[in-house]
Amino acid sequence: MSELDETTRSRGAARADATARAGDAARAPGARPSSATLLGCVALLLAPVAGSAGGALELLTLGGIDPASDPAAFLGAVTAAPGLWSGMGAAMLVMALLTMLWAPAVWRLAHGSSPRWAWAAAVGGALFAFGQAVHLVSWIVLSQALAAALEPDAALGVIAAIESNGLFTVIFAPYLLGALLAAPLAAIALWRARLLPVWSIPVIAVASIGMLLIGTGSPVILIAYPALWIAAFAPALARLLRRRER
């Protein structure tokens, strides 16, 4: 009985060792990428397109209205164009889902070369995805619900109470951190994995800072943001596809 147990343990250890080696080989620099990893890289390129599409729908809905300076006009615009506002919400949801795909793909590609930067990129992506979900609910869903269900004065009172709540500031902070840091951290991680040229890092940093400072109210940033993002990350997908063809 003891010999059988020993044999079983030996076989189990051998299988575990083989699985670990296979995982290490898959994460090693230059390894042939899996279909899931390629899908994550495609999601990395599509995420800013979805975000800019949502920003364009927001711009069409509001028509230049500043919600902070004229919240009554903002609520009126949302009520007048519920389809456009809902479309913006759908686009932002797609961006959040794409972020959930690309963050683990970046981690998998970079972990073998630079574990610290891989984890930093993964945390940045997680913050960005979580922050997008909070932004979707607190900004898009809530504003539409308030505009439809309450009188303007009551709706404005609810918005003011939410904005002055400290907990709201805390849970909204990941969106700002993710918007600023997620893409640059991913670029650094992929550069360390020898999948991106070094110029990709300042390019994506400019895109992230520009979007955070200017926002989606400018048609210029709605075009420049995805263009710079794709230009920065496209070399990684191209190199992975060449590895796939080997």
pLDDT band at 20 (very low <50, low <70, confident <90, very high): very low
pLDDT at 7: 54
Query: In this prediction, what percent of the chain has a pLDDT beyond 70?
Result: 87
Q: Above 60 in pLDDT, residue 125?
A: yes
The answer, yes or no, to whether residue 115 has pLDDT greater than 80, is yes
170-227, pLDDT tens digit by residue?
888 888 888 899 999 999 999 999 999 999 999 999 999 999 888 877 889 999 999 9
Show the domain range for 224. Answer: 46-244
* Per-residue pLDDT at 3: 54
The verdict on residue 84 lying in a domain is: yes
In the chain, the number of structural domains is 1
Residue pair 102/86 in contact (Cβ under 8 Å)? The answer is no
User: Is residue 78 a contact partner of residue 85, using CB atoms and an 8 Å limit?
Assistant: yes
Q: Is residue 139 part of a domain?
A: yes
**Residue 96 within any structural domain of the chain:** yes
DSSP classification of residue 33 = P
pLDDT band per the 50, 70, 90 thresholds, residue 31: low
- Residue 132 · residue 95 · CB < 8 Å: yes
136 located within any domain: yes
Does residue 173 fall inside a structural domain? yes
Helix 166-192 / helix 115-135 crossing angle, nearest 10 deg: 140
Going from the C-alpha of 81 to that of each of 73, 123, 149, 159, the distances in angstroms are 12, 36, 15, 19
* End-to-end alpha carbon distance in the chain: 48
Closest CA to 139 of 96, 101, 97: 96
| pLDDT beyond 50 at 1 | no
pLDDT, tens only, 37-58: 999 999 999 999 999 999 999 9
The residue written with tokens 């004065």 in the block is 153
Residue 158 has pLDDT above 90, yes or no: no
DSSP state of 241: H
Whole-structure pTM value: 0.81
pLDDT at position 228: 96
d(CA 194, CA 2): 50
